[in-house]
Structure 1
């Protein structure tokens, strides 16, 4: 009798432990919640709360002994799935970080750096400004709520078991990483093109009036033009981020349904 009760308790624990592993993996690396600005205790509390809420609506989970090696394998797989989903979301925000670095290098603003409180590293101010902007847009679009909805749906499309992501799914993630760099270049192209025209204009001026000190005049003008371009493209950046978020959600749905 005691053995039967112990087995039932073990299955009950594993029913909550597997979703908790996937949810905690997502919260560890996703934007905003996965940064240093959110303490580990807060992420743990959120993971436990979400787990307690969604477990009653999840499909049946495998009845495996919580203290067995098979259970450990399932937990690691669920943790990897959550980290992969959070990593895909983080790549969208890094699009604008890379775009900010490209723009800063062209405008001479690359010398202006600050400490990123979320990563604890020194970053370009332009990249940090764009990251703050897209983070606010992410919250205003209820992106965090949509991600929780997609996470809950992933338990239906990618059920808990002994199999995780396939090689084809990891290949899609690699392709998505390449798309991140292409999207960053697309965002930075207008500013880079405008600054190229400015540099060509200074080249013509230098040929026409060699006595001009192009280094003393060109650097501040380039910075002013770069700041003007950033201010004019503010609305476009927010709109493009919204489009990238729609693409992200479609990609995640496609990724989790390939099971």
Structure 2
């Protein structure tokens, strides 16, 4: 009991909980406001508690100054890891936003009280579907497992490489757009062909006023073929989960 309540053990638990709490605030599906803050706080402690005996030997001399500096470092590490994770899964919502733009649904925006921002129809729907698939398939457990490994690759007394972080953020943004196009690509191609057909029809028969049918036709095609894009989401989320874990491992060395 004395070993469990020793100063190095409590300090390691505090610093590890700070990193996990910062990560939970940024990483999907835990960053949603639908999860109460008290639950996130308890979950951060639950993540750090089994690792505490091994982390106790990683701390420098325990002083007020070193604890403050280490706390700030753990916040930076947790936020960076959470941002990279959210950047990877943002591709799903970006794919929904592309469908809204090309399908004519971008005009129908609504205020989302969870994200405190306006969101379009398919963008919000794809985000909720991604969160549901992560929870149902157990993908969140794989992401959490990858996060717990960062305590080994980047100890509590380790230093985060800002150069590696900048490279991963740059590459993550490129992967975000590529993944979004891969998910929404079939629907965008169909909608582009519909625009092309309407343009040819307006040239062949101007009296039909084909462009007045543009919005109804594109909305009908988007709703009819939405299942094509939704069908690829499980495989896409599986690949995104693996990508998120690998990015966390690369960031922590």
Q: TM-score, normalised by structure 2?
A: 0.90
Residue 33 (structure 1) aligns with: 30
For structure 2, the residue ranges without an aligned partner over 5 or more in a row are none
Runs of 4+ in 1 over 4 A off after TM superposition: none
Match of 1:151 among 147, 150, 157: 147
Are residue 74 (structure 1) and residue 70 (structure 2) matched?
Answer: yes
Are residue 194 (structure 1) and residue 190 (structure 2) matched?
Answer: yes
Residue 110 of structure 1: how far off its partner (Å): 0.9
CA distance in 2, matches of 1:243, 1:24: 25
Say if 1:99 and 1:188, in contact at 8 Å, map to a contact too.
yes
Say if 1:32 and 1:135, in contact at 8 Å, map to a contact too.
yes
Residue 11 (structure 2) aligns with: 14
Say if 1:11 and 1:63, in contact at 8 Å, map to a contact too.
no
What RMSD, in angstroms, separates the aligned Cα atoms of the two structures?
2.1
Residue 10 of structure 1: how far off its partner (Å): 4.0
Deviation string, structure 1 residues 47-87 (Cα, Å, up to 9, x no partner): 12222233134462214325x21221111111111111111
CA distance in 2, matches of 1:216, 1:115: 29
CA distance in 1, matches of 2:12, 2:111: 42
Deviation string, structure 1 residues 71-125 (Cα, Å, up to 9, x no partner): 2111111111111111111112211211111111111111122232331111011
Say if 2:187 and 2:228, in contact at 8 Å, map to a contact too.
no
CA distance in 2, matches of 1:158, 1:167: 15
CA distance in 2, matches of 1:241, 1:50: 23
Match of 2:83 among 71, 82, 87: 87
For structure 1, the residue ranges without an aligned partner over 5 or more in a row are none
Residue 143 of structure 1: how far off its partner (Å): 2.3
Q: TM-score, normalised by structure 1?
A: 0.88
